[in-house]
Structure 1
Amino acid sequence: MNKRDIYYSMGPATRRLFRRIYYFPIDIIEKISGKRHPMAPPKGRVFIGSGDFIKQGQGILKQLKDYGGLKPNHRVLDIGCGIGRLAVPLVGYLDEKKGSYEGFDIVKSGIDWCKKKIQTKHPNFNFTHIDLRNELYNLKTDKNANNFVFPYKDDEFDFAFLTSVFTHMMPEDVSAYLEQISRVLKKGGVCFATFFVINEESGELMKINDVIKFDHKFENYYLHNPKVKEANVAFDESYLDELIIKHGLKIKNKHFGYWPGRPKDECVDFQDIYILER
């Protein structure tokens, strides 16, 4: 059993407690020394990804601008906003009067932090906690994502984004979210989304590289760990493309990531990026 499998064997609450204990000494030192960025949460509070919180957010913001065409005057929707990794750099990018932000997530502690640190100081930012079940993040409810209706009006947003969200969702939930994204985006609006995509190239690369494995194949998708299904989910490229088109979205571009072993310097990021347009 590798480190990833050990981590996934814990429940969501246990994983978050483990992180807080593990990073407690570092968080105390950073607090006393003042080394922590004023808009960065303590490392033990972060439940998504790893690495430098601020630099990662700035890097993804650059991708949203360069590949998705995000503008300062856009009304944006951050689906699975976590603990504000992208909201933090967007504070300095979105126009206070013309631009606005909505973010939602299923982890309440992340939303609480964002409300306190961002929303109270920036009225054009709003965060909402949505209580949905996910094996990786939230086992305290039986409410499922496959019938969730986004709490926003039709044709409301210029831009929507999901980073490392669809990689933790089952096919029926992805389908439901794509339907909602199509509904809330304005005509011509853009969605920036990341996936793990299985095609002939990535399938062959996985066989020869020491990378995350998706050894458990189902009809149109693959799992890394069947005991925690939503830990990491990959999709057949043809199935994913058909699903996107089915829900009224166009695929403007694809940027395949280096996760299966592609040369890192030839890729935009780790995961596969889809640029969609309504």
Structure 2
Amino acid sequence: MQEKSDFVKSYNRLAHNLRKQHDQNQAMSLGVGGNFDTVGILERELLIQHGLKPNDYLIDVGCGSGRLSKPLAQYLSGKYLGVDVVADFIQHARKITDRPDWKFEVTKGINIPEKDGQADMVCFFSVFTHLLHEQSYWYLHEAKRVLKQNGKIFFSFLEFKIPDQWVVFESTFQKAYESHPLIIFMSRDAIEAWAYHLELEIASIIDGNIPHIPIPHPLKFENGSVVEKTAKLGPIGQSVCILAKK
């Protein structure tokens, strides 16, 4: 259980095991939860929907193997920093994104390697779903530090409030003592408390089971389902919180 709460060790172990069992592309997709291309497009469109401009500076914390950065490269001409604790993920992300002007860095813990007040947006997609609450709060503190005034923080999360997300909890409770990465659910009162103490404004909290992301063309998930016009964030749909630095 102790190793499970050490997200650096548990994710590097996951990446190592996946590389032994699958080819490179499949391992890198499974390492970030699968549906690599489809979810990457959804993440990109969500950020654009809520104000990401082509010349903005985005910091992608827990960027993984490039799920977001790959489709984002077609849109974002501004700066990008992707950070992750798994070196193999970072190497793959750098390769498939093919943007020499963008930065990808391996971190050893909860830190964002950037100066204060630099970024327009910081995103955490499927990151807080695998961290202890104290770790998530610490990351939000770091995100606030590196944001410009009026910058935004995006994070996806799982919550018991959304019935569709129960299947995620039910699939993991029997593996509670195995060394897989944690699956953590979050409550909205926790988000409210964190925002209050960090002096951040809650701009929006979006239910995970409601299609809310405009999409440019039909998208297909690995389970065979196809979405058109608007979509949830993933086949089950994680909830989304947007915080603003005022």
Smaller-chain TM-score bracket: 0.7 to 0.9
| Partner SS, residue 128 of structure 1 | strand
Higher RCO, Cα 8 Å, sep 6+: 2
| Partner SS, residue 153 of structure 1 | coil
Contact map agreement 2:28 2:92 (CA 8 A) in 1: no
Partner of 1:101: 80
Partner of 1:114: 93
Q: What is the CA-CA distance between 1:12 and the residue it aligns to?
A: 4.8
| Partner SS, residue 240 of structure 1 | helix
Kindly provide the amino acid, as one letter, of the partner of residue 236 in structure 1: S
- Determine if the alignment matches structure 1 residue 16 to structure 2 residue 15: yes
Please list the CA deviations of residues 231-269 of structure 1 after superposition, one character each: whole Å capped at 9, or x if unmatched: 21112211221112211211111111139xxxxx99733
| Partner SS, residue 211 of structure 1 | helix
Partner of 1:161: 123
Partner of 2:69: 87
Q: What is the CA-CA distance between 1:187 and the residue it aligns to?
A: 0.6
Partner of 2:34: 50
| Partner SS, residue 161 of structure 1 | strand
Partner of 1:139: none
- Determine if the alignment matches structure 1 residue 271 to structure 2 residue 235: no
Q: How far apart are the structure 2 equivalents of 1:171 and 1:274? A: 15
- Determine if the alignment matches structure 1 residue 212 to structure 2 residue 173: no
Q: How far apart are the structure 1 equivalents of 2:171 and 2:80? A: 38
The sequence identity of aligned pairs, in percent, is 26
Contact map agreement 2:158 2:184 (CA 8 A) in 1: yes
Contact map agreement 2:54 2:76 (CA 8 A) in 1: yes
Partner of 2:105: 128
Q: How far apart are the structure 2 equivalents of 1:157 and 1:129? A: 18
Contact map agreement 2:15 2:88 (CA 8 A) in 1: no
Poorly superposed stretches of 4+, deviation over 6 Å: none
Q: What is the CA-CA distance between 1:43 and the residue it aligns to?
A: 1.1
CA RMSD after TM alignment: 2.9
Q: What is the CA-CA distance between 1:215 and the residue it aligns to?
A: 11
Q: How far apart are the structure 2 equivalents of 1:192 and 1:156? A: 16
Pick closer, same or farther for the CA change 1:236–1:225 going to 2, 3 Å: farther
Q: How far apart are the structure 2 equivalents of 1:113 and 1:182? A: 28
Partner of 1:252: 203
Kindly provide the amino acid, as one letter, of the partner of residue 94 in structure 1: L
Q: How far apart are the structure 1 equivalents of 2:181 and 2:136? A: 12
Q: How far apart are the structure 1 equivalents of 2:175 and 2:195? A: 25
Match for residue 145 of structure 2 among 161, 183, 186: 183
Contact map agreement 1:73 1:94 (CA 8 A) in 2: yes
Where does structure 2 lack aligned partners over 5 or more consecutive residues?
A: 1-9, 211-226
Q: How far apart are the structure 2 equivalents of 1:210 and 1:246? A: 29
- Aligned residue-pair number: 214
